[in-house]
Amino acid sequence: MSEENINGREEEKSPVSFIEQFIIDDLKEGKNGGRIHTRFPPEPNGYLHIGHAKAICLDFGMAKKYGGKCNLRFDDTNPVKEEVEYIDSIKEDIRWLGFDWEDREYYASDYFGKLYDFAVDLINRGLAYVDDQSAEVISQQKGTPVQAGIESPFRNRAIPESLDLFERMNRGEFEEGSRVLRAKIDMASPNMQMRDPIIYRIIKAAHHRTGETWKVYPMYDFAHGQSDYFEGITHSLCTLEFEVHRPLYDWLVDQLKKDEYRPRQIEFNRLNLTYTMMSKRKLLELVQEGKVTGWDDPRMPTLCGLRRRGYTPESIRKFVDLIGYTKVEAINDVSLLEHAVRDDLNVRAPRVFAVLNPLKVIITNYPEGKTENMTLINNPEDESMGSREIPFTRDVYIEQDDFMENPPHKFFRLAPGAEVRLKGAYIIKCTGFNKDENGVIREVFCTYDPATRSGENGSDKKVKGTLHWVPAGQAIDAEVRLYDRLFDHEDPAGQKDEDYRKFLNPDSLRILKGCKVEPSLANVKPLDKFQFQRLGYFCVDNDSTGEHLIFNRTVSLKDTWARINK
Ligand code: ATP
Ligand code: MG
């Protein structure tokens, strides 16, 4: 399917999603005077996660692509669960992802006055009533999809009585839960959402924006559709669970509207990822119970967690693009996300040497105290990233597992009598080693061949193995945090009768102290990203300082899981 040329835009080669096709068709038909206006409507009751990124990319992305606007609207209808901390983090994360709402920062609470007046209007028109029953009783009367609900004994109470009670509810005269306002629609509707839904409840808590003004608060379902209408939203894009709410939103807006315009709601499938979960409530539990270090723990699927882990906005947008938008619920493989970040960091991240488990190598025929600067290119994918120098000295560190006393066949690393190249430097040959009293190898002795210096004439001698290394005296100490999946079950929150906590992976974080990194990393800043050669992509942690360097592993170089699971 190829896209029409709209508003002089170039023809698009890639197939468009069904949502984009609807937007194209609406624009073609001249609906809403050719306007496109979307919104991203988070509830400020937690931090944004990668699932939200899918909605953000669509809401802001479609508006941008078709010359429209996208509002940021906080759906702050529940004063009990909402906090300013969340609002700030949501704004930071959207900006980080690369999107901008300009001056259109709205709050559902901006409309509390209008919504209250509308509720009063509905009562006056016989379309809403105060019900004195509890929410539990009301829910028991709702019926089932194949059985009509039972009408409330208060359904036909006099309009003035409902008006009076609703006003007194808002003055704080009644206890929370003692009364609600319900829309009077149809207790026999095949759509359960239409069976006289609750539209207002009493909450006696201060609201972060409206303070003590209100004692009644609109239900999300009563605020959401009308807020879209008040803001002139043309395309209200949301996840599939809202499909059954659409007739209610339409009904409410129909009672409100004075013109032809009505927001068009289009639903798409949620983003779900393997080995994690997207519920804000459960993510909050992990934070509160100390199962993770905070919302931005690099193991969390939150945007701030992924950022701290070393993910780039580009890699997240790329991933969202890869999985696309459909009408079918699915669970996406986290390895696809890891693939997207690897791809992105491959071109972006400079290569450096870091040794996670150091083993000292002493090059016995190299003069002690001598230093040669070896030049290494920063990124073979991008010459413009230049090169850097690493001092080469008699003593260097290599990885412990790059040496074996009794190597198996085809071990192309270091072993007694074997030769390897130290990358960017010389070929060395192992002449011996010593062990401590526990039998652990402490030092390896080698000789080097001066004629094999990398990049110089006569250096064409080939060996099978090439190792990364750092100069022992000048390497910098660092802490390295290796992350694994937070859960060891593909769908930890989706297991009937089993608590997701049962599937927490006990090995999701391994902290390595005493790692050694090359001297060029002396002045790194939080969020700087590197490829530690042969080891993976790493990012400087937020808590890292000049005195105490900390790196987080973003992702390994290859999909080791796929290989292990084969
Ligand atoms: P909760 O978990 O509290 O029910 P939520 O995940 O729906 O909340 P909201 O703050 O209401 O979070 O979400 C804001 C917007 O992001 C909504 O339009 C919602 O449809 C969308 N969204 C939330 N989770 C996902 C997801 N996993 N995939 C795609 N879109 C999502
Ligand atoms: Mg929600």
Among all bound ligands, the one having the nearest atom to the CA of 326 is 1
What is the whole-number distance in angstroms between the Cα of residue 399 and the centre of ligand 2?
A: 48
Mutation test residue for ligand 1: of 93, 238, 239, the one with most atoms within 8 Å of CB: 239
In angstroms, the CA 498 to CA 487 distance is: 13
Listing DSSP states for 215-265 in one string gives SEEE-HHHHHHHHHHHTT-SEEEEEGGGGGGHHHHHHHHHHH-SSS--PEE
What is the residue with the minimal CA distance to atom 10 of ligand 1?
42
Each residue of 412-470: pLDDT tens digit? 999 999 999 999 999 999 999 999 999 999 999 999 999 999 987 666 788 999 999 99
Please name the residue ranges forming H helices in 324-389.
334-348
Q: How far apart are CA 78 and CA 210, in angstroms?
A: 12
Residue 282 Cβ contacting ligand 1 at under 6 Å: no
Distance 279 CA to ligand 2 centre (A): 10
Q: How many CB atoms lie within 10 A of CB 231?
A: 21
Whole-number Cα distances in Å, 65 to 9, 12, 36, 57, 69: 9, 11, 10, 11, 10
Name which residue sits closest to atom 14 of ligand 1, judged by CA. 42
Residues in CB range of 410: below 8 A, 6 or more apart: none
Residue 368: is it exposed, middle or buried by C-beta count within 10 angstroms (0-12/13-18/19+)? Answer: exposed
**Maximal C-alpha separation, the chain:** 102
How many C-beta atoms lie closer than 10 Å to residue 31's C-beta?
A: 17
Q: E strands of 51-174, at which residues?
A: 69-74, 105-107, 128-131
- 270 pocket-lining for ligand 1 (C-beta < 6 Å): yes
**Do the beta carbons of residue 24 and residue 16 sit within 8 Å?**
yes
Q: Which amino acid is located at 479 in the chain? A: E
Closest ligand relative to 242 C-alpha: 1
- Which amino acid is present at 24? I
pLDDT reported for residue 82: 77
d(CA 536, CA 527): 15
Conformational region of residue 415, where left means phi above 0, alpha means psi within -120 to 50, and beta covers everything else: beta
| Ligand 1: residue whose CA is nearest its atom 9 | 42
Instruction: Give the active site residue among 182, 195, 201, 280.
Output: 280
270 catalytic residue (yes or no)? yes
Our answer to whether residue 260 is catalytic in this structure is no
The CB of 239 under 6 Å from ligand 1? The reply is yes
CA distance 189 to 116: 26
* Residue 62 dihedral angles phi and psi, to the nearest 5°: -65, -40
Report helix, strand or coil for 440: coil
Q: State how far Cα 57 lies from the chain centre.
A: 12
pTM over 0.75: yes
Whole-angstrom distance, CA of residue 268 vs CA of residue 243: 9
Residue 460: what pLDDT? 74
Terminal alpha carbon distance of the chain: 36
Secondary structure percentages of the chain, helix, strand, coil, to 5? 30, 25, 45
Name the DSSP letter for residue 447: E
Strand residue runs (E) in 372-436: 372-377, 387-392, 395-399, 419-422, 427-435
Q: Is the Cβ atom of 342 under 6 angstroms away from ligand 1?
A: no
User: Within the chain, which residues score under 70 in pLDDT?
Assistant: 1-14, 457-459, 559-566
Domains, in order of start, for the chain: 3-268 (3.40.50.620), 280-350+478-564 (2.40.240.10), 354-468 (2.40.240.10)
Among 19, 38, 43, 73, which is best to mutate for testing ligand 1, by the most ligand atoms less than 8 A from CB? 43
For the question of residue 184 being annotated catalytic, the response is no
CA dist 467 and 474 (Å) reads 18
